[in-house]
Chains A and B, each alone.
Chain A
Amino acid sequence: MNQMTPPAQPPAVSVRGLRKRYGALEVLKGIDFDAHRGEVVSILGSSGSGKSTLLRCINMLEIPEDGTVTVDGTEIELVAQRGGGRRPADTRAMDRMRARIGMVFQDFNLWSHKTVLGNVIEAPTHVQKRPRAECIAEARTLLDKVGIADKADQYPSRLSGGQQQRAAIARALAMKPAVMLFDEPTSALDPELVGEVLRVIRALAEEGRTMLIVTHEVGFARDISDTVIFMNEGVIEESGPPEEVFAAGNNTRLARFIEG
């Protein structure tokens, strides 16, 4: 749990009027929310509610048709493109913004041709162009922190799912991101491996990192979040501190979702 930051600072992530459609299907129907510095925001909702799409719009892996995303005070400018939709006005600016956002995927997506250490130092050395020795030293500290220091020289295919996901978290942290995005980080894991990944995420939350977590782990979300967002069919239905959202009881869809 974290204290709220002083209100004077701009929010770490600010989303306004976000809309996203795939063909005729409107996945996000106007989303507004802020995540403040040091805040842990969990996004819950049944599959198809648009929560993963929302996360992907924040670092522009999906380009929203309408609305704005501001990360750490910088808005990524989108311009209309021929044939519908929008594209970033400046792809370099978008790359710079993405480098400030750490993302952890459901399927880990470690680079298969690199060792765990190679995965962790890849972006710091080639995107941020920091000295290699410094990056390696930091990477080892991070791998130690997520509990897989002994796997540094292994290739991803040799690791269990839980170890791969912890390596992926270290890879994201290596960029010293302003915000961490977690896209269902435990959904692809065997049940017995979920705990080790959740423990790492919980430790990050306790450090006061700004994190947005899309998850199905309701108990976990209730435990570590400052704010819980419940999405349904492309809109935010409930949002607020976990004790309020879960106590509300007036939203039957949320109640049904929690029941499982």
Chain B
Amino acid sequence: MDFEFLSQTFLKLLHGIPVTLELATLSLMLGACLALAFAVIRVRRIRPLNWLVIGYVYVFRGTPLLVQLFIIYYGLAQFPEIRSSFAWTYLREPYWCALLALTLNTAAYGSEILRGALLSVPRGQIMAARACGMSGLLLFRRISFPIALRQALPAYGNEFILMIKATSLASLVTLADVTGIAARIIAETYRPVEVFVAAGTIYLALSYGLILLVRLAEIRLNPDQREPAPGAGVSAARKEVNP
């Protein structure tokens, strides 16, 4: 292996990190907002939106992200209505198409994670909140959502990592993310092994950083699991509340 070439490639690929990170961050943030809205619609069974969300999740989880990206990028251009609408200023740009595909995809997975988390909030704790006079948004904001978030975090951390890697598909609609730049260098040099090793190392580093962030968030949100309690004895451990 040519280490000189490897390190040169590595430095070139670093220029793709902003695009990769931006796509991942934006799609995850927008996707999480959509996912929360969808999860609430599912849990509250708000009809007929409920049915739409079920169909949406089914379609976006049941088809490859690459197919979704191509349909958005190549498919939407076929409709004159879209080409003449204001949305076209965005949808003709590969960047926005990739962002849209990634967002819609992660929203589908995220909504299922959050739905499960919301359903796992112990009924007794919600009842206690109702008994204190809480309801609606206040109850959701102060009780249900914080408890669900702690439940969802490990699974959602998984989704973060999957999305970092999924951004590499954006290179197939011409974006110059890490994989996009890698593909260009390979086309110029015909040396795929070194280039992909370098690209893989960058994704590995990004994922590692993300894993650390999720872990930190978990520790911060669950201070009770940080270290063994000084005062609580055997009976506390045995008498775990389990409604």
Contacts and interface: CB of A to CB of B under 8 A. Distances in A.
Interface of A: 59, 61, 91, 95-99, 101, 103, 105, 107-113, 122-123, 126-127, 150-151, 154-161, 163-164, 168, 171, 175, 189-190, 193
Contact of B133 (A98, A159, A160): A98
B235 A111 contact: no
B146 interface: yes
Contacts of B238: 190
Given A105-B124, A160-B239, A190-B239, A122 B232 contact: no
B128 A157 contact: no
A112 B147 contact: yes
B223 interface: yes
B241 A113 contact: no
B233 A160 contact: yes
A61 B127 contact: yes
B89 interface: no
A61 B229 contact: no
Contacts of A110: 125, 128, 241
A161 B235 contact: yes
Interface string B129-167: 111111100100011001100100000000000000000
22 contacts: A59-B131, A99-B132, A101-B131, A107-B124, A107-B242, A109-B128, A111-B129, A112-B147, A122-B132, A122-B142, A123-B133, A126-B138, A127-B132, A127-B134, A127-B138, A157-B224, A158-B224, A158-B231, A159-B236, A160-B233, A171-B132, A190-B235
Interface of B: 122, 124-125, 127-135, 138, 142-143, 146-147, 150, 221, 223-224, 229, 231-233, 235-236, 238-243
Overall SS of chain B's interface: helix
A101 B132 CA distance: 8
Given A127-B138, A158-B231, A111 B128 contact: yes
Given A111-B147, A158-B236, A161-B235, A123 B127 contact: no
A112 B125 contact: yes
Nearest to A125: B142
A98 B128 CA distance: 10
Given A109-B125, A111-B128, A158-B236, 18 more contacts: A98-B131, A99-B132, A101-B131, A112-B147, A122-B132, A123-B132, A123-B133, A123-B134, A154-B229, A154-B232, A157-B241, A158-B231, A158-B232, A161-B241, A164-B241, A171-B128, A190-B239, A193-B235
Nearest to B224: A155
B71 to A, nearest CB: 41
A97 B229 CA distance: 38
A108 B241 contact: yes
A109 B127 contact: yes
A155 B128 contact: no
B240 A157 contact: yes
B128 A95 contact: no
A81 to B, nearest CB: 16
A109 B243 contact: yes
